[in-house]
Amino acid sequence: LIVAVHHNALPVGSPWLDDYMRITNGEALHQILLKAKDRLRGVFFGHVHQNIQMLQDGILYTSASSSWNQFNSWPESSETVPDGENPGFNVVSVSNTQTFIRRWNFKVE
């Protein structure tokens, strides 16, 4: 089972992203997903313009870099600013025994 959502379901530690970008009922979604934890391979989200991986209650939550520009936002930071990293995307491979996430970056000229 793989779940893909546009916005982050759980807080990512950045007030701006957590206050304005997070799914309103994300904690309720997490509680529902806990029932499928044994077969859930990951929850994939975007819209935060940075690579984030979180493990909560045994569930992997991960985002991909933006294909446009990246934001630099550390946990508990009060602002989100462009960080100059190259655009990118993730390739996710799922097998019977593992979920493998590979980040790819590319240069924009």
pTM across the whole model: 0.86
Mean pLDDT over residues 43-72, rounded?
Answer: 89
pLDDT at 91: 95
At 59, the pLDDT band (50, 70, 90 cuts) reads very high
Q: Which domain holds residue 47?
A: 2-105
Beta strand 81-82 pairing with 71-72:
antiparallel
In CATH, what number is assigned to the domain containing residue 27? Answer: 3.30.750.180
The pair phi, psi for residue 54, each rounded to 5°, is -135, 145
Mean pLDDT over residues 6-10, rounded?
Answer: 94
Under a CB-based contact definition with an 8 Å cutoff, are residues 52 and 64 in contact?
no
**pLDDT of residue 80 exceeding 80:** no
Mean pLDDT over residues 32-42, rounded?
Answer: 97
Mean pLDDT over residues 86-101, rounded?
Answer: 92
Number of domains forming the structure of the chain: 1
Q: Smallest Cα–Cα separation from 67: which of 82, 81, 43, 50?
A: 50
Handedness of CA 58, 2, 62, 14 (dihedral sign): negative
Top pLDDT among 7 and 84 is at 7
Top pLDDT among 13 and 45 is at 45
Top pLDDT among 109 and 2 is at 2
Angle at 63 between CA 31 and CA 20, to 5 degrees: 70
**pLDDT of residue 2 exceeding 90:** yes
